[in-house]
Structure 1
Amino acid sequence: MEAEIVVLLMFLGVLIGILLGGPIAFVLAGLAIIFGYWELGERVFPMFANRMWSTATNSLLMAIPMFIFMASILERSGIADKLFQSLLYAFGRLNGAIALTVVLLSTVFAAVTGVMGATVVSMSLMAIPAMLKYGYDKRLATGTVAAGGTIGIIIPPSIMLVIMADQSGESVGRLFAAGLLPGLLLASLYFLYILIRCWFQPAMGPALPREELDRYSGLQITGMILLNMVPPILLIFGVLGSIWFGFATPTEASAIGAFLSLVLMTLYGRFNWAAIREATWSTTRTSCMVLAVIVGATLFTQVFFAVGGNDVVTDLVLVLDDQFGRWGTFAMMMLVVFFLGFLIDWIGIILITFPIFLPLGVLLGFDELWLVMMIAVNLQASFLTPPVGYALFYLKGTVPKGVHMFDIYKGVIPFLLLQLVAIVIMAFYPEIITWLPQFVAR
């Protein structure tokens, strides 16, 4: 059968499987078996065995369960609760104070966990009841928590960036460095949007009442912030510093982070064996899900290349390049990633698009590190778009009664537009991505 027809059938199979509600790991692996046997015969099974073995023995992927464990422990340590209260009083005189606190705390929490779900759930449980209590607009409240929580997929240490490093061949340290400024750019855009909107529409997010603000003096608030900010900063430095200065590999740094999270949990008086069991079980489930998708997508891409799919896509992109130029082709790739976010989770998107888009991007003259990070920022939208937007479902499961799914959908729209603004800014100023990695040890 012609390669073009096989490629079309494979992607139609993915679309149909996802729409029917099949788990992405089994959809991809099943299609790989069907089309692999159809086109290559029985010799495809030894190929699968070799690929699965190489995935299972990839030492870089060992960092994933360690970072997830670190996030699970920190979620139960009480750090976020104390820091939230401190920052809330610091911003209390500003309109939108609680929403501003959510953005800043989400940024800090992202840098010590690397797992989006932990941040979204924590912020939802802490901040949304408080915002509703003080009369915040439900759409602003839910949109802020959803968007702020997903910053964790960009700011290191990020599980997504670990997988991207594995699939692209870039070092984890350089990708972590490349993600820092884009993550801070997104956080700044969210912060400014809330500040400006609540300035012109105070009813959207009023400041804290005077009686609340008078509970602590400025000196007391400063002391609370320093006391609760120093431990997360030390954890960030312990994990990222050990990678960036070449003292530890990403796998070793993830173990350092897991150990330091246990130390912090003990110092905050939250250590108990029940919490350890819950964190271990949560880590096991999440890690198995991630690795199952990696295996399924790896088999799918192996068959895709074996039947000539790379030649088909290369020819297509070269045609687009002739018609629209390199930037038009780049825009097409970004659109593909964006629309895939409506259908497939971020792991599947990475494992399907990277083997195709990265070589083509380099062929068109784009810096590979820059292209990887542009895709990463684009992928943040996949957490905020239905039907597979994880942040939306985490929110729906934790918001108080009276907040409906439609409120959440409408709330994330301004933040999706801000993500588009960030992509445009980084297209005009690629140094936002490429500047810091040049100072990092590979």
Structure 2
Amino acid sequence: MIDAHVALMMLGIFILLVFLGFPVAFTLMALGIGFGYYAYFDAGRMWRSFNRLAEDSETLTSVITWFEGAFNNRIFDLFINQTYTVMSNEVLTAVPLFLFMGYIVERANIVNRLFSTLNIAARNIPGSLGVAALITCALFATATGIVGAVVTLMGMLALPAMLKARYNKSFASGIICAGGTLGILIPPSIMLIVYAAASGVSIVRLYAGALLPGLTLVGLYLLYVMGRAMLQPKAAPRPTSDEVPEVPLPKVLWMLATSFFPLAFLILSVLGSILFGLATPTEAASIG
């Protein structure tokens, strides 16, 4: 069996186990150990251990020798070494800290209030719900750094609101999916942290290089949503006064001050401390 066949088999088993409901982390670990055992299998090395089994008469020694023969494979040494290497990597320590920061932002109900406030503030803009959803996705993606959390939360929060406002289904779904993927690019992206740890590239340089393209992508998404809302009004109807009430400007500014600016200040503080060299990503994640 060639390597390509083994890789395809591994991918197929992974997809099957995930669809059956097995946890992704344990599925990946089991597949890695199982196929790694196959890749590093050395029959001569194993049988040398089993040959000693025939020479031993004591039961306990025989059991130990049998286990030594069955597990006499390099994959177990690599498993232990790689586990220690990942756990002792200072750059990767930032990953759970950024995830914890995003979890706190989610549980603090900031995202819900932010989406509602932006929806009211942008009610006179074409595609106001889509614009509010995209900005919320961008800010929440920046706070979490991962795609799944953003798509899941905004799918439950913004998608029903857009469908209730008679938005085109594919248009509304595309807004959520496109906004959720911004978490891969806009710092502090978890993917960039993992890539920096694997490739040895400076995470600060990766963040500096990804910030402007990420913001540019947000701007292009917003232009597309507003442009399509103007060209195809049925795809993104304007909200009525019953759906989104008219709110005085001072109250809108106060709502923004209590929902938008705290999250923006948190993000700018974390990113600013990293980009200006005031703190490492791990230290900035701890502060956040």
Q: For residues 229 and 43 of structure 2, what CA distance do their matches in structure 1 show?
A: 59
Corresponding residue to 2:270 among 230, 236, 239? 239
Question: Match for 2:148: what amino acid?
Answer: G
Given that 1:13 and 1:31 are in contact with CA atoms closer than 8 Å, whether structure 2 keeps it comes out as no
Distance 1:230 1:39 in 2: 63
- Once residues 5 and 215 of structure 2 are traced to their aligned partners in structure 1, the CA distance between those partners, rounded to angstroms, is 41
Report what 1:35 is aligned to: 39
Report the CA distance between 1:6 and its aligned residue. Answer: 4.7
Q: Where does 1:32-431 land on structure 2 (aligned, <5 Å)?
A: 32-38=36-42, 42=72, 44=74, 45-211=76-242, 215-257=246-288
Shift of 1:120: 1.9
> Are residues 169 and 109 of structure 1, via their aligned partners in 2, closer, same or farther at CA, if it must alter by over 3 Å?
same
Indicate the RMSD between aligned Cα atoms, in angstroms: 2.4
- The normalised TM-score by structure 2 is 0.79
Residues 211 and 169 of structure 1: CA distance in aligned 2, closer, same or farther (over 3 Å): same
2:17 maps to 21
Q: Indicate if the aligned counterparts of 1:75 and 1:118 stay in contact, CA closer than 8 A.
A: no
Structure 2 unaligned regions, length at least 5: 19-26, 46-71
- Runs of at least 5 residues in structure 1 that lack an aligned partner in the other structure: 258-442
The 3 A distance-change label for structure 1 pair 29 and 223 is same
- Partner-residue secondary structure (3-state), 1:20: helix
> How much has 1:212 moved relative to structure 2?
5.2
Q: TM-score, normalised by structure 1?
A: 0.53
Mapped contact 2:127–2:238 kept (Cα < 8 A): yes
The answer to whether the Cα contact below 8 Å between 2:154 and 2:176 also exists between their aligned partners in 1 is: yes
The structure showing larger relative contact order (alpha-carbon pairs under 8 Å, at least 6 residues apart) is: 1
Q: CA deviation at 1:40?
A: 10
- For the structure 1 residues 46 and 211, does the alpha-carbon distance in structure 2 shift closer, same or farther, using more than 3 Å as the test? closer
Contact 2:102 2:140 (C-alpha < 8 Å) held by counterparts: no
For residue 214 of structure 1, report the CA deviation from its aligned partner: 5.2
CA contact (8 A) 1:100 1:191 kept: yes
Closer, same or farther: CA 251–226 of 1 in aligned 2, 3 Å:
same
- Tell me, in whole angstroms, the C-alpha distance in 1 between the residues paired with 2:116 and 2:210: 28
Same amino acid, percent of matched pairs: 38
Whether the aligned pair in 2 keeps the contact of 1:98 and 1:131 (CA below 8 Å) is yes
Deviation readout 1:198-224 (Å, 9 max, x if unpaired): 212111111111455553123432332
Write the letter of the residue equivalent to 1:134.
A
Deviation at 1:38, TM superposition (A): 4.3
1: CA distance between counterparts of 2:203 and 2:43? 36
Count of residue pairs the alignment pairs up? 253
